Amino acid sequence: MNTLIRNGRIIDPANKRDEIGDLLIVDGRIANQSAIRNPQSEIDEIDASNLIVCPGLIDLHVHLREPGFGWKETIESGARAAAAGGFTTIVCMPNTSPAADSPSTIAWIKDRAAEIACVNVLPTGAISKGLMGEELAPIGSLAQAGVVAITDDGRCVQNNELMRRAVEYARMVGLPLFDHCQDYNLVGNGVVHEGYWSTLLGLPGWPSAGEEAIVMRNVLLAELCDHHIHCQHISAAGSVRILREAQARGVKISGEVCPHHIALTDDAIQNFDTNAKMNPPLRAKEDVAALLGGIADGTIAILASDHAPHAKFEKEVEFDAAPFGIVGLETELGLFLDLLVHKNKTIDLPRLIEMFTVNPARLLQIEAGTLSPGRAADVTLIDPELEWTFDAKASQSLSRNTPFDGWKLKGRAVRTIVGGRTVWKL
């Protein structure tokens, strides 16, 4: 079946394209412009008037919880949540059980995804065996097994020497390195941003310096090894400043921002709501302003969800005891559209699309994130003006751990197409 998407605003930042037009999909691939004038007989038409037609969105920071934690999320349910959020490609983190530190686990994830996931699922592999930060995982074998990056996400390699070797080794096999930036000594048992609210509530503080110290470490190692390190879920003002200065010197370092770190501040914890407990923690107003500044000037060029599902019974415990993290795939686009494009006017729509498509695709070195003819027809249709209310109960995810239940948002994906096939439609 072939498809013609008519009259949409086609935004394809990789090809510097932003125009009203039609997009033809033939045999699951983006067809040549000229073919539009001679469409074949068997064709499905989609009216995209007043909609954005853009490359399928990419989220390079997602926890799908399989193997090992299928009660929180499965590859199938996580992929459905991604499709409902407008994502056609998601990158899953290795903190599963067993950890994704061996080619066999990577093969299992890929097989399972091919069998059951409605979007493209790209696995990452561990930096260290068992994510323990002590010995290197078989990074070369992981590369051959098809991982798109290595990371110990959820944990952070503390030993700078081991991290240096990991970066050098990853360079040899051509994989970027993603890092969850957290200095364990500085952070200790911190559960919330160290500041006014941690002082008032007596909750153990997680200081910004605990992130900034590792971002700085990564700048030094990226420079030393001349290889790319991507700093995950940047939350602190100082981290943005460190990234900006390093990028100006040409260091191969990048950072991503998650919606919750700009939608909320640490006052969200004042009633001990465990759905406001994430790692790194929600921070202060000044940090949010710095993140917006980093997005505006391009220091931060990638957006991600850090989709981290946990079951209700796991989150419904004492604040200290609750696991970190929230689900995010279905609210991510709406929150960023609402906050970055509509409310704060931090960036325009084409920039937002760029941050969700070509930028992560370049970092991952994958053939996605563009509408170039011949590429797989991964396409997202977005209504940027649609006002809607997020209902956690209606979520595609197996988990409901979100602080955004009932939030009114402006802008939403209305159709998600993977390889020419509609996998989700509002």
Partner 1 sequence: MTEPGKSKMRWQRKDLLGIRELSAEEIVFILDTAGAFKEVGTREIKKVPALRGKTLVNFFVEPSTRTRTSFEIAAIRLSADVINISAGSSSLTKGETLKDTAKILEANHADLIVLRHSSAGAPQFLAERLTSSIINAGDGAHEHPTQALLDLYTIRQRKGAVAGLHVVIIGDILFSRVARSNIFALLKLGARVTLVGPSTLVPREFEKLGVAVSYNIDEVLPSADVVNLLRIQHERQRKEYFPGIGEYIRLFGLTKERAKLLKPDCLIMHPGPINRGVELDSDLADGAQSVILEQVTNGLAVRMAVLYLCGGISA
Q: Where on the chain is the footprint of partner 1 (CB under 8 A)?
A: 195-196, 199-204, 271-272, 313, 316-321
CB atoms within 10 A of CB 354: 23
CB atoms within 10 A of CB 377: 25
Decide: residue 272, CB within 10 A, 0-12 exposed, 13-18 middle, 19+ buried: middle
Shortest approach of partner 1 to residue 186 CB, angstroms?
A: 12
- Give every CB contact of residue 359 below 8 A, 6+ residues apart in sequence: 301, 302, 369
Give the nearer residue to partner 1 in terms of CB position, either 1 or 200. 200
Shortest approach of partner 1 to residue 36 CB, angstroms?
A: 58
Shortest approach of partner 1 to residue 185 CB, angstroms?
A: 10
Shortest approach of partner 1 to residue 189 CB, angstroms?
A: 10
Give the nearer residue to partner 1 in terms of CB position, either 133 or 195. 195
Give the nearer residue to partner 1 in terms of CB position, either 174 or 202. 202
CA 105 to centroid of chain Cα atoms: 22
Q: Which of 22, 152, 179, 306 is catalytic?
A: 306
What are the distances in angstroms from CA 128 to CA 135, 169, 278, 310?
Answer: 5, 12, 23, 24
Q: Is 306 a catalytic residue?
A: yes
**Nearest-5° angle of CA 44, CA 46, CA 47?**
145
Give the nearer residue to partner 1 in terms of CB position, either 134 or 316. 316
Round to whole Å and give the CA distance between 56 and 370: 8
Shortest approach of partner 1 to residue 79 CB, angstroms?
A: 30
Give the nearer residue to partner 1 in terms of CB position, either 319 or 388. 319
- Torsion sign (Cα): 398, 334, 426, 373: negative
**Residues with active-site annotation:** 306
